[in-house]
Amino acid sequence: MISDWKRMFRNWRSAPVMLLWRVGLVFLLFSVQRVLFFLINRSYFPDVTAGRLPELMVSGLKFDLTAVLYVNSLYLLLLLLPLRAKYTPRYKSMLKGIFLVTNSIALISNFTDTVYFRYILRRSDFGIFTEFSHETQIGRIVLVAMWQYWYLILLFAVLLFLLIRLYGDHKTSDPPLPNVIYYPVSLVVLALCAGLTVAGMRGGFTGTTRPITISNAIDKVKKPVEAAIVLNTPFSIIRTINSRTFEPLSFFGKDEVERIYSPLHQGAPAGSFRRMNVVVLILESFTKEVVGSLNPELENGHYKGYTPFLDSLIAHGYTWKYSFANGTKSIDAIPSVVAGIPSLVQPFVLSRYSLNEMEGLAATLKKKGYDAGFFHGAPNGSMGFDAITHMLSFGRYYGMNEYGNKNDFDGFWGIPDELFLNYCAKTFGQMKEPFLATVFTLSSHHPYILPKPYEGVFKGGPNPLYKCIEYSDNALRKFFKEASRQSWYANTLFVLTADHSLPSSDHKEYITPTGLFSIPIIFYHPNSDLVGMDPGLMQQIDIFPTVMGYLHYDAPYFAFGTNRLEPNRNPFVVNYENGYYQFMEGDYLLQSDGRQLLNSFHFREDPRYGHNLVSSGDSLQGKHFDRFRAFLQEYNNRMIENRLTIK
């Protein structure tokens, strides 16, 4: 009997110890990847010094633990089941295969975000699986990215080699222990490990502990972008599966919240509506940084930028000194720009609330008899844009199918901007006036390859995107030249903006909480007095109500933004990054987790955000925070209750 217990101790000591060793190995590799993530994206974290990095690394351990336990849950279960077969070579080979496959996928996802982070400024979430689900060329794009970032493939191979080499083995139970000992002890160990695993997944051991979420990553960071260091990609993906995006809020009573903020717009006096055409151009990745005329102080006043045509258009149009995107992805831009609905927490079009009844530019102008079309030169179905725009009441979709010449396909995303914009200018003339046309460009996108006739023509700059920006800017020049020959041109309001910023900045001025969302927003009406530089705030969700204001739309409508041509409205800007809400109003930038004010800065006097005013007791700060909470209450509750129209 004593020898049986010794044998049991030896065998059971081996399996749990090797289990801890293997899980601990993955845990260690997550930390190694976190260091690599930081080093490769170092320019996005200017305030993270060598002394602060260990603090963020330690903060990330609890997120790593949760992710590692989720990823290895099947492996843990199969290894801890009270089965004698688990000591056989075949069973052990199966376990090793499951372990290597699941953890390899987790490591790959972390490495993928090492690159993708610079485009979205946060860790990827579950929405990434639907965001690119309609891309027919995604395989080729991934292959090009793998070629460009070959060193990450090499690093992954090294980590995978370590995972295989250091996996180890547990001893075989021979001869078998008596069932009277083996099964009870196995069940006790299984129950104990199950309890510890569940606690680890939740992030705590008490029954009142709330499972940790992405928002918990902001506890130790100074800037929202730093939460990407604390988090890991498997955790972000797992935690956003079937997640409820919004919860009801009651900061204020019904009458009080409507007094502080309301998304209901009353419209202009009856009979004043101007039947003008509207053309909205959403420019892929046209960050504000690339526009020379919007950066007169960069490089001691010597910065020229990469958009000579856009600069010339700005001189004859109306723009804003402080203009921002409401999201970080292309799919965030469409509801923001054409419906006045920002994407907070997760992309609106991927949330359960995307089926809410809504209106926006197309639906609202259709009430005035407008023809509405959406133009995107990618293969039909790309990015789900056709579904999004149908949902937003665009009656016609013009994609690569409608363009009709697939020989012009660039091999990656669609029809190059010069060719497709020329098609748009001519097609607008076939639409019934007045019309609304929204165009989404695509050439200024990774993998940053120019059409063959322009190879070597545009040199760009330190970022490979810049040569594509120059190409697309030249395509815009040709578009406006062609459009100016059309009969509809003079009676058309043009709105130009970007879908999102490009975080891979070459200037420290743009590596800030607001710089990372900075984009151009330009209104242009040929031969009109709509000219000037507004010193105030502007955001994508203001475009819809501002267009309505310029047209003197004479009926009520719904939009979360404000009419920026109406001087008496209080402009604000809202966006969301890595667990933080950012709210700008007056001279302040506020950062909040949705409940309490975490940081406050004077963005005009302190553009590098070095002086936190959160404890200053400034009454204006409190007033602005109340407006943010009123906005958030209206946003959340209306999403939940399906109240995104004037009804």
| pLDDT, averaged across the chain | 86
Domain assignment present for residue 623? The answer is: no
Distances 567 to 15, 56, 59, 116 between C-alpha atoms, Å: 72, 44, 46, 40
Q: For every residue of 326-363, which 3-state class applies, written as one string?
A: CCCCHHHHHHHHHHCCCCCCCCHHHCHHHHCCECHHHH
- The more confidently predicted of residues 204 and 4 is 204
349 and 474 fall within a common domain:
yes
Q: How confident is the model at residue 309 (pLDDT cuts 50, 70, 90)?
A: very high
Residues facing residue 280 across a β-bridge: 438, 495
Q: Residue 566: pLDDT above 70?
A: yes
Is 222 in the same domain as 301? Answer: no
In one-letter notation, the amino acid at residue 228 is A
The predicted model gives 581-588 an average pLDDT of: 95
Q: Given a cut of 50, is residue 489 above it in pLDDT?
A: yes
Mean pLDDT value across residues 576-596? 91
Q: Which residues have CB under 8 Å from 34's CB, separation 6+?
A: 57, 60, 64, 229, 232
Last residue of a domain, one of 520, 550, 565: 565
Q: Is the Cβ–Cβ distance between 446 and 380 less than 8 Å?
A: no
Question: Are 145 and 39 found together in one domain?
Answer: yes
pTM of this structure: 0.76
Question: Do 231 and 284 reside in the same domain of the chain?
Answer: no
Q: Are residues 116 and 189 part of one domain? A: yes
Distance CA 422, CA 408 (A): 13
* pLDDT interval class at 526 (50, 70, 90): very high
Residue 636 lies inside a defined structural domain of this protein: no
- Higher-confidence residue of 549 and 385: namely 549
Query: 227 and 342 share a domain?
Result: no
Do 215 and 309 have their domain in common?
no
Give the residue-averaged pLDDT of 229-244: 82
- The winner for highest mean pLDDT among 306-320, 382-396, 630-644 is 306-320
Q: What integer pLDDT is reported at residue 98 of this predicted model?
A: 93
Q: What are phi and psi of 263, to 5 degrees?
A: -85, 10
Residue position matching structure tokens 């960069």: 298
**In the predicted model, is pLDDT for residue 9 greater than 50?**
no
Quick one: pLDDT at residue 559?
95
- The structure tokens listed for 80 are 């801890």
Residue 150 in any domain: the answer is: yes
Same domain (yes/no): 298, 235: no
* Domain shared by 233 and 283, yes or no: no
Structure tokens at 543: 């475009």
Give me the residues paired with residue 518 across strands. Answer: 324
Is 625 within a domain? no
Element (H, E) at 437: strand 435-440
DSSP one-letter code for 432: P
Q: Which of 322-326, 411-415, 492-496, 535-539 has the lowest mean pLDDT?
A: 411-415
Q: Is 603 part of a structural domain of the chain?
A: no
pLDDT of residue 187: 74
**What's the one-letter identity of residue 53?**
L
* % of the chain at pLDDT higher than 70: 88
Whether residues 30 and 158 share a domain: the answer is yes
Task: Based on the fold, state whether residues 203 and 321 are members of the same structural domain.
Answer: no
Reported confidence tier of residue 393, pLDDT bands at 50, 70, 90: confident
DSSP string, 572-587: EEEEEETTEEEEEETT
512 contact partners, CB below 8 Å, separation of at least 6: 607, 608, 609
CA atoms 539, 544, 547, 553: torsion sign? negative
In DSSP notation, 234-270 reads HHHHHHTTT--------SS-HHHHHHH---EE--SPT
Domain containing 448 — which CATH number? Answer: 3.40.720.10
State yes or no: pLDDT of 540 exceeds 90. Answer: yes
Which residue among 239, 259, 288 closes a domain? 239
Q: Which of 521, 546, 565 is the last residue of a domain?
A: 565
pLDDT bracket for residue 600 (50, 70, 90): very high
pLDDT of the residue at 208:
35
Of 530, 569, 531, 532, residue with least CA distance to 551: 530
Same domain, 330 and 210: no
With a cut of 50, say whether residue 5 has pLDDT above it.
no
Q: Look up the domain containing 550 and give its range.
A: 278-486+497-565
DSSP 177: P
For residues 108-115, average pLDDT: 90
Quick one: pLDDT at residue 133? 59
Return the number of other C-beta atoms located less than 10 Å from residue 635's C-beta.
20
Q: Do 332 and 500 form a contact (C-beta atoms < 8 A)?
A: yes
What percentage of the chain exceeds 90 in pLDDT? 53
What total number of domains does the chain contain? Answer: 2
pLDDT of residue 206: 45
Give pLDDT, residue 488: 97
pLDDT band at 460; cut points 50, 70, 90: confident
Q: What is the pLDDT of residue 221?
A: 75
In a domain, 334, yes or no: yes
Beta carbons of 436 and 361 less than 8 angstroms apart: yes
> Does residue 258 fall inside a structural domain?
no
H helices present in 72-148, as ranges? 73-80, 89-120, 128-131, 138-148
Give residues with Cβ within 8 angstroms of 363, minimum separation 6. 392, 393
Query: Residue 394: is its pLDDT beyond 90?
Result: yes
Range of lowest pLDDT (44-48, 83-87, 373-377, 635-639)? 83-87
Q: Which of 377, 353, 373 is nearest to 362 (CA)?
A: 373
Residue 553 counted as domain residue = yes
